[in-house]
């Protein structure tokens, strides 16, 4: 396994921190999840799978070991020091300021263990007037502008249902940790890696910021479409919605012929993407009128045969039954449960990292980890 021999201490809760360390665990690192005696809050989020783990916890904590540490006690603080003294990476997403009170801030920790890579996942970031404020996914989608550009223009505001900021921030933390690990291999020195939910929200909105600064127009909600590409959205077939994504002029020519409308390629309103954006309403109405008289499966098959990206809008049950999902062998059984969950979306030489261990029961590794408590 890629990260065999790397020891990671996670003091994570909810999503961002646990997801970041789960990436490292999937790659083979020994991840010890440090939990308060009552456990990670995410153990109570979603429907129960086991006595002390829910669906949310199951998706963020595989391939780890769990220990419980009471940081209010001297024994707990000793346990934590021992864990860090032998670690390669320390990753946390605790409330801003909470670890400073315990002497576990990056300056103090790295002064004592300079080879340690310290990954600090914050809410609003490690600088600025809001650096000490806590935050959750919906708050960051709101403050970072993402809610303002999500959903149908005629509907109420809505958050993106997936916690893409939490998960994205966990990914940035893992990427930063791996880069720092490479640097330490070259220099012998660790470093502090900072990332945050707000910085991730800003990164995801980057294109829309560029558009606003270029045009002066406040980005509008596009439903399933895109402000810069047409046609590039959902349309209603006779029995349900499906996507048509003519992402360039070459694909539009293929689309026009597949839909039986070759004359569109000579229409001055539609010849280039810029033309189609300028005549968005006419273009979208023309496509919709054409596809409304046949089932979506008919159109998807015809468009795929022509090389035009197209797919039905599937429900979660449909996704789980799709041949492509099966072919990827990405769904992995969680040991000792009836759940089949998405494994790591990366393969190495054709092999996907395995779900070696189910998410741990609370404190199940206490005896193993603390049996030889001795600072390195």
Q: 228: how many CB neighbours lie within 10 A of its CB?
A: 12
Length of the chain, in residues = 376
d(CA 172, CA 156): 31
d(CA 157, CA 151): 7
From 183, 203, 204, select the one nearest 193 (Cα to Cα): 183
Residues 6 or more apart whose CB falls under 8 angstroms from that of 157 comprise 147, 148, 150, 151
- Beta-bridged to residue 53, according to DSSP, are 50
Provide DSSP, 330-354: -EEEPTTSS-EEE--S--BTTBPPP
Pairing mode of beta strands 192-196, 340-342: unpaired
d(CA 99, CA 92): 9
Q: 223: how many CB neighbours lie within 10 A of its CB?
A: 13
d(CA 262, CA 248): 16
Inter-residue contact 257 to 290 (CB < 8 Å):
no
367 carries an active-site annotation: no
Residue 217 DSSP one-character state:
P
Inter-residue contact 201 to 165 (CB < 8 Å):
yes
d(CA 351, CA 22): 18
d(CA 165, CA 226): 20
Query: Of 166, 249, 275, 373, which is the active-site residue?
Result: 166
From 243, 299, 252, 305, select the one nearest 275 (Cα to Cα): 252
Residues marked active site are found at 166
């Amino acid at each position: 396994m890629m990260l065999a021999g790397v020891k990671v201490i996670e003091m994570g809760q909810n999503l961002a921190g646990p997801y970041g360390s789960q990436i490292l665990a999937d790659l083979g690192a020994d991840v010890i999840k440090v939990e308060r005696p009552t456990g990670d809050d995410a153990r109570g989020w979603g429907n129960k799978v086991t006595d002390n783990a829910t669906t949310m916890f199951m998706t963020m904590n595989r391939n780890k070991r769990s220990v419980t540490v009471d940081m209010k006690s001297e024994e707990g603080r000793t346990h934590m020091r021992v864990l860090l003294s032998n670690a390669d990476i320390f990753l946390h997403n605790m409330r801003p300021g909470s670890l400073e009170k315990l002497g576990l801030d990056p300056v103090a920790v790295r002064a004592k263990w300079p080879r340690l890579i310290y990954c600090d996942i914050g809410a609003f970031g490690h600088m600025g007037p809001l650096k000490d404020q806590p935050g959750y996914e919906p708050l960051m989608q709101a403050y970072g502008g993402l809610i303002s550009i999500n959903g149908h223009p005629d509907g109420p505001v809505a958050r993106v249902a997936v916690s893409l900021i939490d998960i994205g921030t966990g990914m940035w933390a893992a990427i930063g940790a791996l880069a720092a690990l490479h640097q330490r291999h070259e220099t012998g020195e660790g470093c502090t890696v900072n990332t945050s939910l707000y910085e991730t929200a800003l990164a995801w909105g980057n294109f829309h910021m560029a558009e606003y600064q270029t045009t002066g127009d406040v980005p509008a909600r596009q439903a399933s479409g895109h402000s810069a590409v047409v046609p590039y959205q959902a349309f209603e077939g006779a029995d349900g919605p499906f996507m048509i994504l003519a992402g360039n002029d070459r694909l539009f020519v293929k689309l026009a012929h597949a839909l039986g409308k070759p004359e569109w390629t000579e229409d001055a309103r539609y010849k280039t993407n810029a033309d189609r954006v300028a005549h968005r309403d006419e273009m979208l109405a023309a496509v919709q009128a054409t596809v409304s008289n046949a089932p979506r499966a008919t159109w998807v098959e015809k468009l795929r045969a022509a090389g035009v990206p197209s797919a039905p809008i599937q429900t979660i049950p449909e996704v789980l039954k799709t041949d492509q999902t099966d072919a990827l062998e990405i769904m992995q059984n969680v040991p000792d449960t009836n759940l089949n969950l998405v494994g790591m979306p990366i393969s190495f030489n054709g092999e996907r990292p395995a779900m070696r261990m189910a998410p741990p029961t609370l404190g199940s590794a206490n005896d193993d980890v603390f049996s030889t408590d001795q600072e390195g």
